Chains A and B, each alone.
Chain A
């Protein structure tokens, strides 16, 4: 039972990280119907920013908690700047062209970011300091769950609640929903759609950066390639849940996290990806639109 619980919580942790990234994919898709393949790289850039910031702050003599918050804040700001610029440079000029053009542009930006960080930093794995606080009273249960995992799950939960409040109740949230449902009509009602798209990229980037810092701190090392792998997994999760659907992205991420965790725990860690993607294939055969996705209505 303890073993099951450990795998369950491990899967929940993985799923939480996937969800933070998957939301960026699904929100962008919901608004401009683009798979932003460079999104994983934004997450990687967030982790690198946090590493650099944490190193500098440690030299300056800050304690662990201020380092965590400042490094997280800088990672968010830096990633948001990247996400915003990415959209303006690589996607906005292509908005009225063939749907394949921005997709190719996205793949290009993904490769560009990976190689840029490879050249500017290093190709080696870099050790990442453990920024997440250890909670002493949890130590007896460390064989089931680490306190960093609890921290990841709770942070994700808070971010999700804030996001859903933002989308449901605020002026910009309403504009985002309207733009996703009918972009032309939103424009005609006075919504500045370019701004809504920018805000969507910025929010997605901020969540990816949070995910990047959390997972880097949990695993303890990063390199330029982590964004690609995490991006593919989160994209899978978004498709699994139904791309374009926000609850779908969260559900898909959790399902994927658990599938991987249980496959690793009960069968073999070699089969982790086989089960994750095998499950995706099964879902897509029986529910092509994903778990919570709507079959796309033909626009007249």
Chain B
């Protein structure tokens, strides 16, 4: 099994604060990996380093698309990282509120399409075909996440759970081989969380996309993860299967505090 994503001694400092400290993380093909840890452990910072929003202070990030050579991605711009095949969502909803549901997904196709202004004016065969394909592709994705009945609705008018699914569909539109989800279940009710659980598993099983997710909902994490990666104060403190993590004393201590462990 090759690693799609691996970080080696990845470190990120903000002034005197070391938010991510020598982290070695690996995500393999077809894997669902959960990244957990108390608030402020550096999980989102790690995501920001991987997706190009931050330039890591030291250490390396390697990405290896299936069937391609590994590539070091430190310092690449976010749109270049996306073009390589990584996609992400955020903790808070970041849809384009004044665009329709379909348009939101179509933006995700931007780096996989090539039409320019000249094509838009001339409406040549290539441009027209590409436009049709983009609409068809985006519509199929919306069907997958059960949002096809909302296609022409403005994104901000959707119910909360549907907005979350739209974010995932939009990320999938970039055709990633690895999807990074930052607290996808945040603010969801138990029914929505169960649907999300099902959706994430389907993305992995049907589309063959590996998933790295940050999540606080332990039931969801334990249900779907192949491996769990635990962080505290920027450091990696444990990695293993859900069963191993559940009984790991370091993890229990990090979550409940040293006293209650005694």
Contact = CB atoms under 8 A, between A and B. Distances in A.
Contacts of A300: 92
A107 to B, nearest CB: 29
Given A172-B116, A172-B117, A199-B117, A188 B51 contact: yes
A189 B117 contact: no
B98 A181 contact: yes
B110 A170 contact: no
Nearest to B98: A181
A166 B110 contact: no
Contacts of B134: 171
Contact of A171 (B92, B120, B170): B120
Interface in B97-116: 97-99, 103, 106-108, 110-113, 115-116
Contacts of B170: 189
Among A177, A181, A190, A199, chain B packs the most CB atoms within 10 A around the CB of A190
B11 to A, nearest CB: 22
A188 B131 CA distance: 21
Among B82, B99, B117, B131, chain A packs the most CB atoms within 10 A around the CB of B117
Given A166-B120, A174-B107, A190 B97 contact: no
B142 to A, nearest CB: 16
Nearest to A182: B94
Contacts of B77: 187
A174 B106 contact: yes
Interface residues of B, number: 35
B88 interface: yes
B82 A190 contact: yes
Given A188-B88, A189-B107, A189-B170, A170 B115 contact: yes
Interface string B71-96: 00000011100110001101010101
Nearest to A191: B110
B64 interface: no
A140 B153 CA distance: 51
A178 B107 contact: yes
B46 to A, nearest CB: 15
A186 interface: yes
Among A174, A186, A300, chain B packs the most CB atoms within 10 A around the CB of A174
Contact of A172 (B79, B82, B94, B120): B120
A59 B112 CA distance: 49
Interface in B112-145: 112-113, 115-117, 120, 131, 134
A178 B96 contact: yes
B151 interface: no
A186 B107 contact: yes
B79 A187 contact: yes
A191 B111 contact: yes
A186 B134 CA distance: 17
Interface string A184-209: 11111111110000010000000000
Contacts of A175: 107, 110
Contacts of A177: 96, 98-99, 103
Contacts of A173: 120
Contacts of B78: 184, 187-188
A169 B88 CA distance: 26
B198 to A, nearest CB: 25
Contacts of A189: 79, 82, 87, 107-108, 110-111, 170-171, 173-174
B99 A192 contact: no
B162 interface: no
B113 A171 contact: yes
A192 B110 CA distance: 9
B53 interface: yes
B96 to A, nearest CB: 4
B174 A178 contact: no
A31 B52 CA distance: 21
Contacts of B51: 188
A174 B110 CA distance: 9
B120 A182 contact: no
29 contacts: A169-B120, A170-B115, A171-B115, A171-B116, A171-B131, A171-B134, A172-B116, A172-B120, A173-B120, A174-B103, A174-B107, A174-B110, A177-B96, A181-B98, A184-B53, A184-B78, A185-B94, A187-B77, A187-B78, A187-B82, A188-B53, A189-B111, A189-B170, A189-B174, A190-B174, A191-B107, A193-B79, A199-B117, A300-B92
Given A188-B88, A189-B108, 5 more contacts: A171-B113, A181-B96, A187-B79, A188-B78, A189-B174
